[in-house]
A and B are shown apart, each in its own frame.
Chain A
């Protein structure tokens, strides 16, 4: 196994204000992995993602991204890490006052010194990568939910990030759009070697794309299983994981 994970999380506790949602979280994400964070509704998956991306501070523990401890990172180190990280939010989070082209161009204008023409070319290319070639001048309100997610992904990919986070990518999508997005995630991982971290509880999606995963258990407030989702289904380490991965099939029946 690779000894230098791209993300190393140690003894992390997450939550808001005085309310701890999850604790003692320790896991590694290897470079090029598709890593699934799964668990029931309200177990803290999105909170973990927000903590990993620096939106909320951890209550305890350390997060190392590319070897840099985020709590001790200087502003310039933090900016450098953000530059190498893209996020696709649940709603797409496109800026509604900007066209798709302007949305994708924003990180390029912020972090690079490319000319306007060069930026225009990159924007067209990134939109084409997600199947939205020619949609530069559309506003987010003029396209469908699935297209908004794709455009959000194009913006997340704008700076060729090494890590891309996905927060519930299938939420609000029909099965076909959801599958298409899964295929896109696989293609991006395969073609660009991007490390992908996905927060989801959609079973078809996590079995289709997941190489590694952690299961967040609400009852014990920590990770109760790690590994490949398909392997976890074959050899579930506990009742919660089995029931989750089989949509509530009785664990007792299986063990009889």
Chain B
């Protein structure tokens, strides 16, 4: 039972029986201003911390000299005194809550700063490229080979599998439509043109953004957490030389090869569906696929892939280098590297398609 008696400026809170988390103290904190609180207990059967926490929540703004204890269970009194030991003015968050316009302005400033940071990073990358061409860039060839192995041979299986499946889906969906015109055989052309022109590059790009871009951001971000980037900077070694160049070079080199593989696997996937499900003879499929293969389409696909390689490496390295100094920031950097990598890949696809249209390719 809890009984509250108010006499003038003295409030007595009488407690007895079972004091647990179900018990409520009906005393608004604001009513206690300037009052003396007397906590009185008698025959307490049991009590628990949630009850004491509620009591503290009500009393926390009362000066501790205004609170007196009488016959409280030893543990309960000690616990309350401990909570009040640092004074009873709990720290209040002084951060002002921003209004709508201020928040919009703040976001705008953050956006402008990140655009500026991005431009500075691109500038540093270009300087490193220039230094590389002049043979002055500082990075270890061993690092380049390690990164190349990671984003080349180790990515073959996943790229091959996904591209095969995409070719398969493309052929299946395409054939369903073309069948209504009795033109299933053109599935071979559909898959060949689709894969070589853009699908091979996009699928490879998305796989590499998720696989390699994320890995770049995570590894460089962890270096930031471990102060390795600071160590590089104070050794006078350029971060873009040492970390970004080998990664960009490796992706630039491996993307065309992976795209070639992706194209072949996609066409094979289409072949699988056509031969097994749509009863198109293998020789017919091969003939139509070869006839519809166009070198320009293939080269446009490879060009897309190289641009995607640059975008993925840039996003991975940029978010890694600008990562915060805790584990959570590494996760954020990794996510951003993948999301921005894919978004910028799609933007670049649009731009390249537009440029190809204008040139007439």
Contact = CB atoms under 8 A, between A and B. Distances in A.
A25 B106 CA distance: 31
Given A54-B234, A89-B231, A93-B228, 17 more contacts: A54-B233, A55-B230, A55-B233, A82-B235, A85-B234, A87-B234, A89-B227, A90-B227, A91-B226, A93-B226, A93-B227, A93-B230, A97-B143, A97-B146, A110-B237, A111-B236, A155-B231
5 contacts: A93-B228, A93-B230, A95-B228, A96-B228, A110-B236
Interface in A45-103: 50, 53-55, 78-79, 82-83, 85, 87, 89-91, 93-97
A72 to B, nearest CB: 18
Given A97-B143, A97-B146, A110 B235 contact: yes
Interface of A: 50, 53-55, 78-79, 82-83, 85, 87, 89-91, 93-97, 106-107, 110-111, 155
A55 B234 contact: yes
Give the dominant DSSP class at B's interface: helix
B169 to A, nearest CB: 39
A162 to B, nearest CB: 14
B236 A96 contact: no
Interface of B: 138, 143, 146, 223, 226-228, 230-231, 233-237
Contacts of A155: 231
A56 to B, nearest CB: 10
A90 B228 CA distance: 11
B228 A94 contact: yes
Contact of B234 (A53, A90, A91): A53
A232 to B, nearest CB: 28
A82 B234 contact: yes
A110 B146 CA distance: 21
**Which 10 A-B pairs give the minimum distances between C-beta atoms?**
A93-B227, A93-B231, A89-B227, A82-B236, A79-B236, A93-B228, A107-B235, A53-B234, A87-B234, A91-B226
Nearest to B235: A107
Contacts of A91: 226-227
Contacts of B223: 95-96
Given A79-B236, A82-B235, A97-B143, A110 B138 contact: yes
A83 B236 contact: yes
A110 B236 CA distance: 8
A94 B228 CA distance: 6
Contacts of A50: 230
A106 B143 CA distance: 13
Contacts of B234: 53-55, 82, 85, 87
B269 to A, nearest CB: 37
A57 B231 CA distance: 16
B136 to A, nearest CB: 12
Contacts of B235: 82, 106-107, 110
Contacts of A78: 236
A79 B237 CA distance: 10
Contacts of A55: 230, 233-234
Contacts of A85: 234
Residue of B143, B228, B231 with most partner-chain A CB within 10 A: B231
A83 B228 CA distance: 17
B342 to A, nearest CB: 27
Contacts of B226: 91, 93, 96
A85 B234 CA distance: 8
Contacts of A106: 235, 237
A161 to B, nearest CB: 11
Contacts of A79: 236
B105 to A, nearest CB: 15
Contacts of A89: 227, 230-231
A85 B228 CA distance: 16
A111 B234 CA distance: 13
A97 B150 CA distance: 14
Nearest to A55: B230
A242 B138 CA distance: 49
